[in-house]
Structure 1
Amino acid sequence: MSALVTQEPAADLLHRYSFPQSDCSQIPYGMYRDPDIYALEQEKIFRGPVWNYLALECEVPKPGDFRVIAVGDTPVIVNRAKDGSIHAVVNRCAHRGATVQRQLHGNTKVHTCCYHQWSFDLTGKLVGIPFQRGVNGIGGLPADFDKSCHSLQRLRIETLNGVIFGTFSDETAPLVEFLDVPFVTQLKRLFHKPVRVLGYQRQRIFGNWKLYSENLRDPNHGGLLHMFQITFGIARLNGKGGATLDSEGKHNMSWAAQGGRKDGEPEPAKDAGYGDTGRGDMNIKLRDPSLLTYRHEYPDDLTLTIASIFPNCCFQQIGNTLAIRQFRTTSADECEVVSTFYGYEDDDEGMARHRLRMANLAGPAGLVSMEDGEAVELVHRAIVRDTDKHSVVAFGGVGAVKDQENLVTDVPMRGFWIHYCKLMGIETGASA
C-alpha cells in the first residue's frame, strides 16, 4: 500500500469511517476528504475492474492522431495506430517516469519523451533510445537490455458505437456486460450514427469527485437548485421523469420527457409542490424561446437524459445539446470535469448552430448547470471538521435499489455507493 498517504494497513483504513446502513442511506463525510481514501480509490476504483470512458473514435480519425486524457489521476494517451487500430497507454516514460506526450492532441509517428528522447510507437512499444550503446563503445545500456520489456503500460480497450472505454484490470467483464442492457441501449440511442465534435469545456472544481458523481445521480436537486430549469420548465420535479439503473445500481440515467402522462392523470400546475420553496415566478417567458426549442430526433419522447456511467463519466442530452462529461481526479479536494460537445455528421448548418446555442445550458457558466460546481464546493468546505458525521440519502425510500418513476429520489446515489463500497472492500451496515 505504498500509494497511500499514511502507512496504515488497508484493512484498518477501511474501518476509519462507518456506513451505519447496509443500503448506504447514510454516507460518512470523511469519505470525501480523506487523502488516504483518495489514494486507495486510484487502485480499487479507477484501476479496478471497471471500464473508464476515454474518448470518441471520431477524435482520433487518422493514423497518428492522439489525445491526452486521464483515468482518475493517471495520465493516458489515446491514439490510432498505422493499421487503424486504437490503443491507450499510460503517458509515463518507462525510463525515468517523465510525461511523454505533452500536447493535448495532435498527430505523430512516435511519442518521444523530452527528458532523454526515448521514443515509443503508437502501440506503446519502445522503439528508440539515443546512445543505447554509449559512445565509442563506452557507457550506454547493458548489452542484454531488451526494449520489448519496456513498453508504455497498456490499457485494455473496447468500443461501442464509436465510444472508447479502457480498463487496467484483466478481471473486468466485457463492456456490454459491465454497462448492462439499459446503458448499452442508451449509448446506441445517442450514437446511432456517426458523430462529430463541436467543442470542449473544462471546469476545475474544488471538491471531491464523488460529490460531483452524486450530483449527477441526484435528480432531486435538478428541480430545486437550477432556477433556469425550474422557471422555464426544462425539467420540474412535478413533471414526467424518473431514473433508470443497471442491475447492480452502479449506473444511473435520470430522465425527463414531454407529455405522455398516465391515462386520467391531470397535468400538474406549474407551481405544484413549489409553493414553499421560494423559487420564483414560473410564468416568466423568454424573449427568444428558440433557445429551448426541442427538435425531435429520437424515436421516443425523452428531452433530458443524464446517463452516469460508473466511475468517471456521464452522457448528457439536454434538449438537442449532446455532451460527454469526463471527470478526472486531482486530489481528495479537487477534480476536473472535461465536457466534449458533439453533434451528428449529417446535421445541417441550422441544427449544428442550434446545438451550439443550446450548449449554453451546460458547462461551468451554463444557464442550467453553473450551480453544480458551486454546490459541490459548498458541501466540501462545510464538512471539513465533521468527518465522523453522515449525510442523509433517503429520498425515494431506503432498502433495495431499483428504477424510480419520479425525480424526487436519492436512490441512484445509494446505488453508486453500494458498488463503490463493494470495490473498495468496505463493509456496510450496523455490524461493520
Structure 2
Amino acid sequence: MKPNDSLAAALPRWPAAFNQVPKWAFEDADVFALEHERIFRGPVWHPVAHDAELPKPGDYKTVTVGRTPLLVIRGDDGVVRAFHNACTHRSTRLAMAFRGHSGDIECPYHRWVFDTRGQLRSCPGEAEFPPDFKRADYNLAQPRTGTYMGLLFVSLHPSPPPLMDWMGHMAGPVRDALGGNGRLTLLGYQKVRYQSNWKVYIDNDAFHAPLLHAAFRILRWQGGSGRQSRLPAGHMMILSEVAAQPSDGGLLRDPSVIGYQGGAAPRNKAAAQAAGSSLLAFWPLTAIANHLDIFNIRYANPVGLDQVEVHYAYFAHADDAADMVRHRLRQSSNMIGPSGFVSLEDATVFLRIQQALDTDPSTTFFLKGYREGADLTETKQNDEAPNALWWEHYRQMMGFAREEA
C-alpha cells in the first residue's frame, strides 16, 4: 500500500447519504496534500491559456496547477507550448510575472538561457561540465499538452486519457462558446483571491443565485426553465434562462449595463438569446462563462488550504464591432469584477463558510432538487442537488470509502 493510500484509508469515511459532504474535506491539511497528487497531478486535463492571450512570439503567461508552476509561451515558430517553470539545472523558478514578453528565458541563478521553444541555448562554464554533458538533455521539461479551439490544456499525469475522450460531450458546447472557430480577442484580466478552500468556490451552486445576488434578481433568474447537465469525468453545463431584454425594476441608474446586445458567438446566438447565460465547467476547476454579453474563461487554482485564486480572462470575438467591445468591457467590470454586482457577495459567503466549518453538524447537505435514487444528470437551473455528482467524482478520485448505509 502506498503512503497516500494509507492516508486515504485513515481518514474518516465519507457519509453514506449521497447528498452529504463531510466538512473535513474543506479543512483537513492531509486531504489538501493528497488532492495535489490525486487530482492536480492525476489523470485530468487543465485548461491554462487561449491562443488570444499570447498573440505574438515571445508572449508568455505563468500559471500554477496545484503546486506546480508552469510557463506558457508562444515560440518563435508561432506554436504555443507549456513548460515546467523551473530551470533544469537547479530548479530555480524562471518567470515570475503573470504575463510578459521575452525573446529568451534566462535563469538568474547560473545564467542558463533557453529559447522560446524551451531549448537550452547557452550555459556559462560548459567547458568544465562532465564530458558527456549535452544541452539537449537539459531542455525545459514539458507536461503533456493538447489543444481544442485555441484552448491549451495540460496534464501532469504520465498517462492521461485522450483529451477529446476526457472532454466528451463538452466539446460541442465549448466549440460553440468559442465562436465555432476559437478566434477571440483578449480584453483583459481581473484577479480575485477568495478566502476559502478551493472546493467552497467550486461548490457554489445555482440555487443561491437569485437569493444572494441582487443582480440575478434583476435578471429574473428565479423560476427560469434553463437546465443543468452533469457529464462523465465530472464536467458540468448550465444553460440558464434570463430575459433577453431584462428589466432592472428601477434599481439601476443606467439599465443598459445589464442589456443584451447579441454578442454571443455566431453559432450560439439563437441559443444565447433564449438562455441568456451559460457556464461550461471543466472538472475540477476551470470554467467558460457567458452571461449576457460577458464572455470569460475562469482559471482557478488553490494557493493554500483556505485560499483560492481566480483569474478572469475576458474576451471579445474577433469580428466584434468597437461598440460591442466597449459594451463587453463595461458589462464585465460591473457584473463580475472584484467590486461588481456578483463577486463581492460570493467572496463574503465563501469566507463565512470557511469560518464556520468546525461546527456541528459535521456534514453539509444538498436539498433543493434532491430525491434519493433520482437521476441528477439533468435538473432545473436553480437546483443544488447536481453538486452531489461533482462530489461523487471527487470522492472516487481521492479514494475515500463511504460509510455503510
TM-score normalized with structure 2 length: 0.90
- The CA deviation at 1:22 is 6.2
Q: Note the 1:330-369 alignment, pairs <5 A.
A: 330-359=303-332, 360-369=334-343
Give a deviation string over 1:25-63, Cα, whole Å, max 9, x none: 211111111122111111111111111010111112222
TM-score normalized with structure 1 length: 0.85
Whether the 8 Å contact between 2:243 and 2:276 is mirrored in structure 1 is no
Is 2:134 aligned against 1:146? yes
Structure-1 residue corresponding to 2:163: 175
What runs of 5+ residues in structure 1 fail to find an aligned partner?
A: 3-7, 134-139, 261-269, 271-281
Q: Note the 1:234-383 alignment, pairs <5 A.
A: 234-236=220-222, 238-248=223-233, 250-258=234-242, 283-296=249-262, 297=264, 298-300=269-271, 301-359=274-332, 360-383=334-357
Q: Which amino acid aligns with 1:323?
A: N
Give a deviation string over 1:70-122, Cα, whole Å, max 9, x none: 11232111112222222111111222222111232223232111111122233
Q: Which amino acid aligns with 1:220?
A: F
- The CA deviation at 1:258 is 4.3
Once residues 101 and 306 of structure 1 are traced to their aligned partners in structure 2, the CA distance between those partners, rounded to angstroms, is: 32
Once residues 360 and 142 of structure 2 are traced to their aligned partners in structure 1, the CA distance between those partners, rounded to angstroms, is: 37
The range that moved more, 314-323 or 167-176, is 167-176
- The CA deviation at 1:206 is 1.4
Of 13, 38, 44, the residue aligned with 1:18 is 13
Of 203, 221, 236, the residue aligned with 2:192 is 203
What runs of 5+ residues in structure 2 fail to find an aligned partner?
A: none
Whether the 8 Å contact between 1:126 and 1:152 is mirrored in structure 2 is yes
Of 123, 131, 148, the residue aligned with 1:129 is 123
Q: Which amino acid aligns with 1:16?
A: L
The range that moved more, 50-59 or 82-91, is 82-91
Once residues 80 and 339 of structure 1 are traced to their aligned partners in structure 2, the CA distance between those partners, rounded to angstroms, is: 21
Q: CA RMSD in A?
A: 2.4
Once residues 250 and 349 of structure 2 are traced to their aligned partners in structure 1, the CA distance between those partners, rounded to angstroms, is: 25
Q: Which amino acid aligns with 2:279?
A: I
Q: Which amino acid aligns with 1:163?
A: L
- The CA deviation at 1:283 is 4.5
Q: Which amino acid aligns with 1:188?
A: R
In the superposition, relative to structure 1, how do residues 259 and 373 fare at CA in structure 2: closer, same or farther (>3 Å)?
closer
Once residues 228 and 10 of structure 2 are traced to their aligned partners in structure 1, the CA distance between those partners, rounded to angstroms, is: 32
Of 71, 74, 92, the residue aligned with 1:77 is 71
Give a deviation string over 1:364-410, Cα, whole Å, max 9, x none: 21112321122111111111x34981111232214355333423322
Whether the 8 Å contact between 1:53 and 1:312 is mirrored in structure 2 is no
Q: Which amino acid aligns with 2:345?
A: E
The count of aligned residue pairs is: 392
Is 2:49 aligned against 1:36? no
- The CA deviation at 1:332 is 0.9
Is 2:233 aligned against 1:233? no
Whether the 8 Å contact between 1:401 and 1:414 is mirrored in structure 2 is no
Structure-2 residue corresponding to 1:90: 84
Q: Which amino acid aligns with 2:389?
A: G
More helix, by proportion: 2
Identity, in percent, stands at: 29
SS in 1 for 2:97: coil
SS in 2 for 1:76: strand
Once residues 294 and 413 of structure 1 are traced to their aligned partners in structure 2, the CA distance between those partners, rounded to angstroms, is: 29
In the superposition, relative to structure 1, how do residues 158 and 228 fare at CA in structure 2: closer, same or farther (>3 Å)?
same
Once residues 44 and 366 of structure 1 are traced to their aligned partners in structure 2, the CA distance between those partners, rounded to angstroms, is: 35
- The CA deviation at 1:65 is 1.9
Q: Which amino acid aligns with 2:171?
A: V
Structure-2 residue corresponding to 1:54: 48
SS in 2 for 1:149: helix
